[in-house]
Amino acid sequence: MYPPEEKVRLGLDLKGGVHMVLRVQTDDALRIETETSMERVREVLEVRSIGVGAMAMESPTRFRIESISPAQDAEFRAITDEQLLVLYRRESGAGGRYAFEMRPNMAVSLREESVRQALQTIERRVNELGVNEPIVAPHGVGGDQILVQLPGVSDVARAKEIIRSTALLELKLVEQGPAISRETLLQANGGRLPDGMEVVPGTDDTLTPGAAPQSVFYLVRRVAAITGRDLRTARSTLDEYNQPAVSFLLNGDGARKFGDITSQNIGRQLAIILDGRVYSAPRIESRITDEGRITGYFSQEEAADLGLVLRSGALPASLTYLEERRVGPTLGADSVRAGILASVTGLLLVAFFMLVYYKLAGINAILSVALNLLILLGVMAYLNATMTLPGIAGFILTIGMGIDSNVLIFERIKEELASAKNVRLAVAAGFDRVFLTILDTHVASLIAAAFLFQFGTGPIRGFATTLFFGLLSNVFTAVFVSRTLFETILARRRVARLSI
Amino acid sequence: MQIFKTPNINFFRWRWQALGVSTIVILVGVSTIWSGGGLPLGIDFSGGTAVVLRFEERTPEEAVRMAISSVEGEKVVQQYGDPTENEVLIRLPQIAEETGASLEQGANSVVEAIESAGLGEFEVQSTDIVGPVIGRELQQKGIYATLAALAGILIYVGIRFRFSFAVGAIAAVFHDILVTLTFLTVFGYELSLNVVAAILTITGYSVNDTIVIFDRVRENLRSMRRDKLELVVNRSVNQTLARTIITSATTSLAVLALFLFGGEVLHGFAFTMLVGIISGTYSTVFIAASTAVFVNERRANQQVSTAPGLTGGKKRSRRQKMKIRAS
């Protein structure tokens, strides 16, 4: 238990820091899954030369394929059976029209999986930030919320940016571009977006040499050649012009894929896309296997942060903030001071009252209350429980409850003394009679504390915890310790009158 | 030292007057809450943004109000805590669209506006931003927790004592919650998470007080078997009166220290506890016991009138006694 600064963990409200509740947009994960499935089927259908009309997503969990000719219907069914039926339910409509709807149980497990992944990713990022005793945990009843607590963090904006950035890295082959606008890019295709392609915005300074970087657009393959999952590690570095950049290393699987693609596409451009934005689109000079570099217009810190988020892996879905509470370090210190002042004053006031009212027996009460507080502090330290401002209030309430038990006992002893019993008998009777009452009152209060804990978020949990253990240890100190004290004194010498 | 010898006050004579006083207080509360358009919810439950700033030098609220006049929405600026601390609380309403970036926008624009207004050095003490989803969740959880705690206590008291006692205990608790809410509203406190925690604690405290008396009633019923329940209860209230008052006084002392020195964050909490303890003591003496007796009589009467003849009544009373002995 000693030293207290090390053993009793201070909550955010006493230490300063930030508390956030985030929601994982699990729809994102479903949309990505549906999109990937659709594109995979598109490629297989192309290879097997099965003609299809439009293919389009209708919702994050549903897409349709139109105009399958009756002659190829059986083959189409066989292919989709193989490719999709684990995840999707097939609905057939008129005129060779099919819709694929994600199975509900699959959707649920995908959502759960994405929350779990997000949790792990955030944990890794927070750990890399070097925060002391952070908390990253599931939160709430909806199953899609995550609680993040970062004690002692001062640059909250940066921490939030790092936690939040999706860091979805994709390397995609460029079909056309860069171009100044979307329209010029699509002119070659008669203004239509070709199947399996997409337009991604980016920044470029090569289009008009010497000019400032401008917004450009690229037409790229929808299916990524390499994604963030293929990364082994990433770190900030300097590029050939001594500008901050981020270099990355691919894992075995990724290196094999990258090697194939680069050797087959020498002379073409490969777009490095991060969170839906092209950072650069270098030309493939030769076969590359496991190393790459992202250049852009980074500051030193941006490059370091990007390396961090890439290392920790991409988030499976985007995040939104639902709640944020920041406590400045000075407010925390003020609260600690105020809490200690209030506790000490409370204890002194109560002690004074007990001494005046119960005289020598008051010492007994004060000892048992002090022991109660000591036990409570020990339990808190042992459980590694967090001390919050409401937790201090819980301490003060424990003083109140402890005194209450002693008052109950003392008043009863007085009554017993009044009915002319001798001192030892009166003390014994007092404790015996009151024991059940103390038990009943404590159980009722424990019920309230337990529900408080269940309901509690953050600081209030601290209150419920201190109250709960304060009540438990109070049963022990008030009934057992106080009685032993009385009986030890009474056994040593004959007492004719009790100072109570 | 003894303030009083075991007194002999007939609390039952005062029960209608007591009921009247409680009803008036609660009616005042209900009408205040009603005219104010519901309970004054803090941002924990309503959602919104609250920023506390500490200025180096004395800064009038009006200057802060002027500085942030460009920030959208209906803003509330008020002095926070002790005037010598130069602290100001700024509240912004809930942002309608719950998109990730805009949740913190209000807080950021307030800080920026004040920075550019040149009001001297300041420090952001705390920022609380609660989105509508969390606000709703906390509201639901708060109500659920209070009801569940009450049900739990009701069941416990029902098992350990009699059903009519449990009703008495719950009546007292409801009384205390309503009275506390009345005082909170009248004195302009907002319902925050801390205040709800205090209300739940009062629930425990109020039942605690009531159980002490009921315990005594149970004990006295053994020796005063022939007396009316009303008499037994009144005697028990008198016997435990010293304890009730002393405990309330000492607990109030501890909470008073919290109220005076615990800092602004715990002010609402301490105030709620203070009111709750006083109300709890009062309701223990005047509300809980008389409700228990009232419910007990009603049930006994019903049993007699539904059972044919006198034998039914006798059976009932025998059963009652057995139950008392068993418990």
* Residue range A328-492, CATH number: 1.20.1640.10
Q: Which fold has domain B11-39+135-326?
A: Multidrug efflux transporter AcrB transmembrane fold (1.20.1640)
> Looking at beta carbons, which residues of chain B come within 8 Å of A164?
100
**Rounded CA Rg of chain B:** 25
CB atoms within 10 A of CB A132: 10
Q: Which of B145, B249, B262 sits opposite A454 (nearest CB)?
A: B145
The model's pLDDT over A409-444, given as tens digits with 9 standing for 90+, comes to: 998 888 888 886 788 888 888 898 889 889 888 888
Probe site for chain A from B134, B140, B259 (most A CB atoms < 10 A) = B134
Interchain pair A326, B246: CB under 8 A = no
CB contact under 8 Å between B98 and A320, yes or no, is yes
Residue A5: its pLDDT value, please?
55
Ramachandran quadrant class, B82 (left: phi over 0; alpha: psi -120 to 50; beta: rest): beta
Measured between CB atoms, does B312 come within 8 Å of chain A?
A: no
pLDDT attached to residue B325: 46
Closest chain B C-alpha to A260 CA, distance in angstroms: 40
Q: Closest CB to A349: pick one of B240, B257, B273.
A: B257
- Mean pLDDT to the nearest integer, B127-138: 84
Question: Tens digit of pLDDT for each residue in B40-91?
Answer: 888 888 888 899 988 888 888 888 888 888 877 788 888 887 787 888 899 8
How much is the pLDDT for A469? 92
Residue of chain A minimizing CA distance to B254: A346
Q: What letters, b where the CB count within 10 A reaches 16 and e where it falls short, cover B76-113?
A: ebeebbeeeebbbbbbbbbbeebebeebbbbbebbbeb
Task: Name chain A contacts of B261, Cβ cutoff 8 Å.
Answer: 338, 341-342, 345
Residue with tokens 């994960």: A29
Per-residue pLDDT band for B100 (boundaries 50, 70, 90) equals very low
**Nearest CB partner across the interface for A325, out of B6, B128, B145:** B128
pLDDT for residue B318: 44
* A150 and A327 Cβ atoms separated by less than 8 Å: no
Nearest to B49 by CA among B19, B92, B112: B92
Question: With bands split at pLDDT 50, 70 and 90, how would you rate the model's confidence at B4?
Answer: low
Query: Under CATH, to which class is A27-102 assigned?
Result: alpha beta
Question: Is the fold of A27-102 the same as that of A328-492?
Answer: no
Beta-carbon separation of B127 and A396 below 8 A: no
CATH fold of the domain at A169-311: Gyrase A; domain 2 (3.30.1360)
DSSP string, B76-138: EEEE-S-GGG-EEEEEEPPPSS--TGGGTHHHHHHHHHHHHHT---EEEEEEEEE-HHHHHHH
- CB < 8 Å to A356, chain B: 1
Tens digit of each residue's pLDDT (9 = 90 or more) over B136-162: 888 888 788 778 888 888 888 888 888
Which residues are within 8 A (CB) of A370 and not within 5 positions of it... i.e. 6 or more apart? none
For A42-73, what is each residue's pLDDT tens digit?
888 888 888 888 888 889 899 998 888 888 88
- pLDDT tens across the length of chain A (500 residues): 555 556 677 888 888 889 999 989 898 889 888 988 888 888 888 888 888 888 888 898 999 988 888 888 888 888 888 888 888 998 888 888 889 999 999 899 889 988 988 898 898 888 888 787 888 988 877 788 999 989 888 788 888 888 888 777 888 888 887 887 877 778 777 777 777 788 888 877 665 555 566 788 888 888 788 887 788 888 888 887 888 888 888 888 888 888 888 888 888 888 888 888 888 888 887 787 778 888 777 788 888 888 888 888 778 888 888 888 888 888 888 888 888 898 889 889 989 988 998 888 888 889 998 899 899 988 888 888 878 878 887 888 888 888 889 998 998 888 888 886 788 888 888 898 889 889 888 888 888 888 878 776 666 777 888 889 999 999 889 888 888 888 888 887 766 677 77
CB contacts under 8 A, B 183-242 vs A, are: 193-194, 196-197, 200-201, 203-205, 207-208, 211-212, 215-216, 219, 239-240, 242
| Mutation target vs B (from A404, A408, A413, A467; most B CBs, 10 A cutoff) | A404
Would the CB atoms of B211 and A345 count as touching at under 8 Å? no
Q: How far apart are CA A379 and CA A144, in angstroms?
A: 33
Which residues of chain B does A389 touch, with a Cβ-Cβ cutoff of 8 Å?
A: 262-263, 265-266
> Of A382, A488, A367, A371, which Cα lies nearest the Cα of A427?
A488
Report pLDDT for B274.
92
Rounded to the nearest 10°, the torsion over CA B16, B18, B19, B21 is 130
Q: B138 contacts in A (CB within 8 Å)?
A: 457
Neighbour-count burial for B30-52, b at 16+ CB within 10 Å, e otherwise: eeebeeeeeebbbbbbbbbbbbb
Among B residues 9-48, those touching chain A with beta carbons less than 8 Å apart: none
Q: How far away is chain B from the Cα of A458, in angstroms, using its nearest Cα?
A: 10
- pLDDT on residue B317: 45
For chain A, the domains span 11-25+107-153+321-325, 27-102, 169-311, 328-492
Q: Which of A320, A350, A390 sits opposite B253 (nearest CB)?
A: A350
In what helix (H) or strand (E) does residue A273 lie, and over which residues does it extend?
strand A270-274
Task: Find out whether B217 and B313 touch, Cβ atoms under 8 Å.
Answer: no
Cβ–Cβ gap A393/B262 under 8 Å: yes
DSSP category for residue A194: P
Answer yes or no: do B249 and A415 touch at CB < 8 A. Answer: no
Dig out the tokens for B293 from the structure. Answer: 């007796």
At B307 the pLDDT is 46
> In this predicted structure, what is the pLDDT of residue B143?
81
Return the residue of A nearest to B213 by Cα.
Answer: A437
**Cβ count within 10 A of residue A79:** 17
The percentage of chain B sitting over the pLDDT mark of 70, rounded to a whole number, equals 88
Whether ipTM > 0.90 holds is no
Min Cα–Cα distance to chain A from B106, Å: 12
Asked if A141's CB is within 8 angstroms of B197's CB, the reply is no
| Residue A121 Cα, gap to closest chain B Cα (Å) | 18
Instruction: Render the burial of B129-138: b for 16+ CB within 10 Å, e for the rest.
Output: bbbbbbbebb
B310 and A CB contact within 8 Å: no
Query: Under an 8 A CB cutoff, do B133 and A322 touch?
Result: yes
Domain B48-130 listed as CATH 3.30.70.3400: yes
The number of angstroms, rounded, from the C-alpha of B232 to the middle of its chain's C-alpha atoms is 29
- Partners of A325 on chain B (C-beta within 8 Å) are 126-129
Comparing CB atoms, the residue among B127, B254, B263 nearest residue A346 is: B254
Query: Hey, are the CB atoms on A349 and B256 less than 8 Å from each other?
Result: yes
Number of A/B CB contacts below 8 angstroms equals 223
Instruction: Estimate the crossing angle of helix B267-283 against helix B241-261, to 10 degrees.
Output: 170
Q: Where are the domains of chain B?
A: 11-39+135-326, 48-130
